[in-house]
Copies of this chain bind each other. A is one copy, B any other.
Amino acid sequence: MKQPIFKRLALIGIGLIGSSIARRVRADGSVGEITIATRSQETLDRAENLRLGDSYNLDARDAVKGADCVILCSPVGTYEAIAEHIAPALEHGAVVTDVGSVKQSVIDQMQPYMPEGVHFIPGHPIAGTEYSGPDAGFPSLFEKRWCILTPLPGADEAAVKKLSEFWRSMGSDIDIMEPEHHDLVLAVTSHIPHLIAYNIVGTASDLENVTESEVMKYAAGGFRDFTRIAASDPVMWRDVFLHNKKAVLEILGRFSEDLAHLQRAVRWENGDVLFDHFTRTRSIRRGIIEAGQETDEPDFGRSQQNQDD
């Protein structure tokens, strides 16, 4: 029989990410038992109906008792309060980690409350969909995706190794990174794409001369690819932007500069500038496919079955 990696896993928050972890580790038997905490009675009931855990708590402090691994899976704006609240009940030797999309802020929020002897190792699985809540999770969410860990200086090597093993058991590859660098990389690859997707969808719905129904009908021309990520959880994303302000503003400044350059090329009909730019961006796409982070099927949101002759 397989040896569990952790004896008791406490999941604080049971949305898309938390419920995907729960589904996966239950299927794999990689933890002995799962305890789930969320402040919403409705969400907790739903998690229980879905049989995502072995025990259920409204109070996160109760959930972490006896847990040798605690994962915060709630929006990053909640972390400081949770850290303060659970700290007195954390077990000596427990691994405390998270799945937040920013890392320096998580360290600033949680580290001051972490007791001596608890292994606090911030983490971020680069995986998600535009759906949220306990029903949205699925066990393969982390397959072939990167999980970035940002251990603090002097972190316990055995604990980092164990947490890495846990994420690998869910199909992920592990990278170790500095928190500040993580926040910059993710600002580019995730946060700014979400902000501009949210923005274009808003711009489109505000037009006086184009109806919302026209926007929806003709979305297949490119717009729908943006609406997918602009449908992501509003609380989670509000918190991401508020907690990665520095990197988001830096990348947004560059984005706007670059957009002004393309806009000028349109105004002055400088076709070469546009052509050169559009050619360059093609190679990035190929790189992503080669890195295994995307398929090369021309699906554009349609299901594959429609495309075969």
Residue positions of A touching B, CB distance < 8 A: 23, 27, 77, 101, 126-131, 136, 138-140, 143, 145-146, 148, 175, 181, 184-186, 188-207, 209-210, 212-232, 234-235, 237-239, 241-242, 245, 248-249, 251-252, 254-256, 258-260, 262-263, 265-267, 269, 271, 274-275, 277-282, 284-288, 290-291, 293-295, 297-304, 306-309
Contact = CB atoms under 8 A, between A and B. Distances in A.
Contact of A210 (B188, B204, B205, B300): B188
A224 B284 CA distance: 10
A224 B188 CA distance: 11
Contacts of A294: 219-220, 224, 227-228, 301
Q: How many monomers of this chain does the complex have?
A: 2
Contacts of A222: 189-191, 193-194, 197, 229
A190 B191 CA distance: 22
12 contacts: A126-B220, A130-B300, A189-B204, A199-B255, A220-B294, A228-B294, A230-B278, A234-B282, A242-B266, A249-B263, A294-B301, A295-B301
Contact of A188 (B195, B204, B265, B301): B204
A212 B280 CA distance: 12
Contacts of A300: 128-130, 228
Contacts of A231: 281-282, 284-286
Contacts of A140: 306-307
B242 A285 contact: no
B185 A214 contact: yes
A258 to B, nearest CB: 5
B287 A212 contact: yes
A198 B191 CA distance: 17
Given A189-B223, A231-B286, A249-B267, 20 more contacts: A77-B271, A130-B285, A148-B218, A184-B210, A189-B219, A195-B266, A196-B259, A199-B255, A199-B262, A202-B258, A202-B281, A216-B287, A216-B293, A227-B285, A227-B288, A228-B300, A241-B265, A242-B266, A256-B259, A295-B303
